[in-house]
Amino acid sequence: MKIDATKPLEYGSEENSNKIFGFWIFLGAEIALFSTLFTVYFVLVNRYATGPNGTELFELSGVLWETFLLLSSSFTIGLAVHSMRLGLKKPMMIFFGLTLLMGLGFLGIEITEFFTYVHEGATISTSAFTSSLFVLLGTHGAHVSFGILWGASILLQVKRQGFTLATANKSFIFSLYWHFLDVVWIFIFSFVYLKGLM
């Protein structure tokens, strides 16, 4: 395999660069996916039948914590990639681990949020509005959950093998995924929660 030493390790072979490029295309497809979920939400947002609407359900404090955690985890994964490019394994692993922990924190708050909604009588079956709320938030949450599992497996590989063409490539691609989830959250924060509370 020809290694290009002028590029960071994650781009260092043709196969590596192609994988990163391919993952960007996948993120384009994910943009289409989440746009569809947002479309469904906006079409159904006012169809809450006899159930609660957003203003009654949403609580700003939980949302602010979720936003802070996800934004900070995006920061730490960026720092992880930066450390990786400097060849610093321990800092990279610490930043990576912090990212996953904050992801877990985010999930904890979101799961509590869901349980609260159900407790207050807003389940997935209550109305079109609650269905679309749960599926939009839930799809994002499922992506975060999958990401945590995926990230953990990559962290383990970095621990065992250090920075190789393969582990650097996977770590960088994971960071793209994680940043993308933060982008989606920004729109959820703004147009689901804030708009709902307006």
Partner 1 sequence: MKWDEFFVTGEPMIYGAMASIVLATIAIIVGLTYFKKWGYLWREWLTTVDHKRIGVMYILSALIMLFRGGVDAIMMRFQTAVPENKFLDAQHYNEIFTTHGLIMILFMAMPFIIGIMNVVVPLQIGARDVAFPRLNAISFWLFFVGAMLLNLSFVIGGSPDAGWSAYFPLASLEFSPTVGNNYYSLALQISGIGTLLTGINFIVTILKMRAPGMKLMRMPMFTWSSLITSVIIAFAFPVLTVALALMMFDRIFGSQFFTMSNGGMDMLWANLFWVWGHPEVYIVILPAFGIFSEIIATFSKKNLYGYTSMVVSMVVISLLSFLVWAHHFYTMGQGAMVNGFFSITTMAISVPTGVKIFNWLFTMRKGKITFTTPMLYSLAFIPIFTIGGVTGVMLAMASADYQYHNTMFLVAHFHYVLIPGTVFAVIAGFHYWFPKVFGFKLNERLGKHAFWWIAISFNVTFFPLFFLGLQGMTRRMYTYSAETGFGPLNLISFAGALGLAFGFIILVYNIYYSIRYSPRETDGDPWDARTLEWATSSPIPAYNFAVTPNVKGRDALWSAKHDNQPIFDGKIEPIHLPSNSGKPVILGAVFFVFGFSLVFSWWIPAIISGIGILIVLASMSFDRDHGITVSVEEIMETEKKLRGETL
Partner 2 sequence: MMKQLFPIRHVMGYLTSLILSALALTALLDIPFASKMAILAVTAIIQASLQLFVFMHISEMASTKKELYLNIAYALFVGLVTLFGSMFIFVWGWYS
CB 164 within 8 A of CB 2: no
Q: How far apart are CB 71 and partner 1 at their closest, in Å?
A: 25
Among candidates 20, 62, 85, which has minimal Cα distance to 189?
Answer: 62
CB 169 within 8 A of CB 16: yes
Contact between 150 and partner 1 per CB under 8 A: yes
Nearer to partner 1, 18 or 190 (CB): 18
Give the integer Cα–Cα distance in Å for 159 and 167. 10
> Binds 115, which of partner 2, partner 1, none (CB < 5 to 8 A, cut-off by type)?
none
Rounded to 10 degrees, the C-alpha dihedral 131/137/138/141 comes to 180
For 138, other C-beta atoms within 10 Å of its C-beta total 15
Please provide residue 12's backbone torsions phi and psi, each rounded to the nearest 5 degrees: -65, -15
Q: Residue 44 is encoded by which pair of tokens?
A: 């159904």
Binding mask 27-56 for partner 2 (x = CB under 8 A): xxx-xx-xxx-xx--xx-------------
| Residues near partner 1 (CB under 8 A) | 1, 14, 17-19, 21-22, 25-26, 28-30, 32-33, 36-37, 39-40, 43-44, 47-51, 124-132, 134-135, 149-150, 153-154, 157, 166, 170
Binding footprint of partner 2 on the chain (CB under 8 A): 7, 11, 17, 20-21, 24-25, 27-29, 31-32, 34-36, 38-39, 42-43, 67-68, 71-72, 74-75, 78-79, 82-83, 86, 88, 91, 175-176, 179-180, 182-183, 186-187, 189-191, 194-195, 197-198
